[in-house]
Structure 1
């Protein structure tokens, strides 16, 4: 079992935000330095749909692991599972989330959980904000030339939410 990395200087963090999903997992990496944030990378991990579910979970694990190692991430933040109307979907989402959490933990990262409402509140100022509003605010806050995909924007929003928590 690997231990957690010692706490870094709280001034600078390279934060990985994760928006888990069994079909598409969004990721976003930002740098937070004494209250200022900057964009590093974002994208999606799309497991092959024809594969058995266990193999798709492994692709999520491998994808998050690769992002962590390529981007020099120091901490991870992930969206909590929300209550879905379909129990089967909620279970699959929970398993995808678990694959992402284990990838972060295997790399020695501390992992922080945030509710969808807290993430929207932290980025858009309103806990019931829609996807388009979150996407727009992520673009504005990070000074991006174009809006990222909704899954990548949601992941960047998770990272921004964590950055905001560092400086309360």
Structure 2
């Protein structure tokens, strides 16, 4: 996680400048509001959240960062020794909890349950920031509808939702190598 606002190119991503500025001052975290950034790969979602994370840490606050898969694994290990509640309580001590890349891989029942537990525990107490290729309204396509509906209801109740658009910034900067098969 080396991306900061110093390396952020405000003009490149499809996140409009006013929300960028408003979110960068971090007041939303003090109000336990959430952030959901959705859109195609390479449009600046994770970079922007990483920059926020660095600002949060610089402001003396704590952050917990996961992908949905790593969070599910953490909760799975806690289930083995019956410490799920303790693990969730420890994670939600952070002022900002990030779950990155929701929807890249199919979500299991365990992932959906873990995500719901996190959203419910943080609801109106801590800020969550999520990145996803799917808008949260579509989470019922990757997890059971009941869990998705309950999690999204809490997640979006006090949330800033940003939808990115466009083509991948990574691909636009890629150096292409052509391989010509030998015949």
Is the pair's TM-score, using the shorter chain for normalization, greater than 0.5? no
| Greater Rg over alpha carbons, structure | 2
- TM-score calculated relative to the size of structure 2: 0.29
Please identify which structure carries the higher strand content: 1
- TM-score calculated relative to the size of structure 1: 0.30
